[in-house]
Structure 1
Amino acid sequence: MTSETSLLSTRAVPPRERLIAALDVPSPDDARRLVTALGDAVCFYKLGFELLMSGAYFALADELAGAGKKLFLDLKLYDIPETVGRAMRSLRARRAQFVTVHYGARVLEAACRERGELGILAVTVLTSIGPDDLRDLGYPAGVAAEQLVIERARRAFEIGCEGVVASPLEAARIRAAVGPKLAIVTPGIRPATAADDQRRVATPRAAFESGADYIVVGRPIRDAVDPRGAALAIQETIASVFA
């Protein structure tokens, strides 16, 4: 461990459940093949937009839940509050741990009112967003993504969200601003140095030592020559961090 040990998550989560593998593949069959290849190396999966467009998203989600897997439904819901509330009511029957909702105070309030047992994760600022993107969205030149993330994380906590999705580079500041009760789920995890189209990235160890509770790993596992081996290597890192 490092001098940043005090930032480590104190949530009662088994270390192996802190790795969420992203099923960012085009079809349920591709997802099943990856899940089979990973075996017991991964017990928590994220299902995102690509699978949603396959037409069998919820059938696959139910299948994975029935097999004892934990689920993160990365739907990034965003609409008027009433519509998001109705969507949450429909999602209650799904045996998922997390569902994402794009930041918006009234939208998050509606989602939290109707969540049932689902944990709402507020999407603060996408990890692909950089300064040029913020300017395109109409923010003044002086506004940084990190500033928006902290402000939105604090508000999401006040509203009652289970956690936030945020870059590992902002995890420490979120933890300092909000404390240990808000779950921090971090995408943009790269065991190697390649950052591809994600702007704000970190290694698994760095993410956890910065305060992340869970990490989401996609391409480094999915595209590995040995996906199971890649996942096990990350699990070994997690076990050492939380030893």
Structure 2
Amino acid sequence: MKEPRIIVALDFSSAEKALNLATQLNPELCRLKVGKELFTVAGPKLVKQLTREGFDIFLDLKFHDIPNTVAKACKAAADLGVWMMNVHALGGKKMLLAAREAVPPGTARLIAVTLLTSMNQDDLNDVGLQGEPEQIVLRLAKLTQNCGLDGVVCSALEVSSLRQQLNTGFNLVTPGIRLEEDSLDDQKRVATPSTAIKNGADYLVIGRPITQAQDPLLALQQLNQSITM
């Protein structure tokens, strides 16, 4: 059995809704992402419960603070038994190195967010970041790799370029995945599952196409089939 490459985003406002969805899925076919909203309302207890149900958990809290604070937060996340966690690459080299030291290689996977997939050129101009999104993402991804982290979160549109320029084994985790018939919602830099995988993504973060499906397990099975064809 190949490892699951789909990470289902549990973007819910209550533990009850998240657990209800989890009972409809198969931990052999996917992993689960717990983000800021769900973690704020349900906390570590839910993460531990989902782990006991057999799911690998990606804790998506994008830690971004002074190095010591981020290191302690990463250590706490690792102690929860999560499979993967993330920090924000814009926290800089000292913060990234502190996070890596707190979560040694071979424990939980530690990745960094480059740019949020909701951001476009106008957004970058507003905050004073110089260059096009692809240039900034590559710069931050190389910094993340040089600090010894396990990968980055990046848009599917940047995967192909990053895969060519970063080490083999450096994980590329891609949100903003939509089926061709889906609306873009609040994402701007998106791609379909098969395109993202062909471009070199290791893991796909998928929310609404599964969580809002009439039959979430069937949707998950179909998505898995689409990326292995």
Give TM-score, length-normalised by structure 2.
Answer: 0.93
Structure 1 position 197, deviation (Å): 1.1
Q: Distance in 1 between matches of 2:71 and 2:168?
A: 27
Consecutive unaligned residues of structure 2, counting only runs of 5 or more, are none
Matched, 1:234 2:220: no
Q: Distance in 1 between matches of 2:112 and 2:27?
A: 29
Structure 1 position 57, deviation (Å): 2.2
Counterpart AA for 1:179: N
RMSD between superposed Cα atoms in Å? 1.4
Q: Distance in 2 between matches of 1:91 and 1:106?
A: 19
Tell me which moved more, 196-205 or 81-90: 81-90
Say which of 29, 32, 39 aligns to 1:52.
Answer: 39
**SS in structure 1 at match of 2:62:** strand
Structure 1 position 88, deviation (Å): 1.8
Consecutive unaligned residues of structure 1, counting only runs of 5 or more, are 1-13
Structure 1 position 16, deviation (Å): 5.1
Tell me which moved more, 188-197 or 122-131: 188-197
% identity of equivalent residues: 39
Matched residue, 1:137:
127
Structure 1 position 89, deviation (Å): 2.2
Structure 1 position 227, deviation (Å): 1.6
Matched, 1:64 2:54: no
Map 1:91-170 onto structure 2 (within 5 A). 91-103=77-89, 104-116=92-104, 117-140=107-130, 143-170=131-158
Structure 1 position 219, deviation (Å): 1.1
Matched, 1:34 2:21: yes
Mapped contact 1:41–1:232 kept (Cα < 8 A): no
Greater RCO (Cα-Cα under 8 Å, separation 6 or more): 1
Structure 1 position 23, deviation (Å): 0.4
Matched, 1:189 2:167: no
Mapped contact 1:41–1:235 kept (Cα < 8 A): no
Please list every run of at least 4 consecutive aligned residues from structure 1 whose deviation after the TM superposition is greater than 4 angstroms. Answer: none
C-alpha distance after superposition, 1:12-67 (max 9, x if no partner): xx54510100000001100011111224574310000110221x221111111112
Q: Distance in 2 between matches of 1:222 and 1:41?
A: 17
Structure 1 pair 41/190, CA: closer, same or farther in 2 (3 Å)?
farther
Matched, 1:20 2:10: no
Matched residue, 2:73:
87
Structure 1 position 106, deviation (Å): 1.6
**SS in structure 1 at match of 2:25:** helix
**SS in structure 2 at match of 1:58:** helix
Structure 1 position 202, deviation (Å): 0.5
Mapped contact 1:15–1:239 kept (Cα < 8 A): no
Q: Distance in 2 between matches of 1:76 and 1:110?
A: 15
C-alpha distance after superposition, 1:156-201 (max 9, x if no partner): 1110011100001100111111131210000000012421210110
**SS in structure 2 at match of 1:120:** strand
Q: Distance in 1 between matches of 2:21 and 2:34?
A: 12
**SS in structure 2 at match of 1:139:** coil
Matched, 1:211 2:197: no
Mapped contact 1:41–1:231 kept (Cα < 8 A): no
Mapped contact 2:63–2:70 kept (Cα < 8 A): yes
**SS in structure 2 at match of 1:235:** helix
Tell me which moved more, 32-41 or 164-173: 32-41
Q: Distance in 2 between matches of 1:26 and 1:42?
A: 24
Mapped contact 1:20–1:42 kept (Cα < 8 A): no
Counterpart AA for 1:226: D
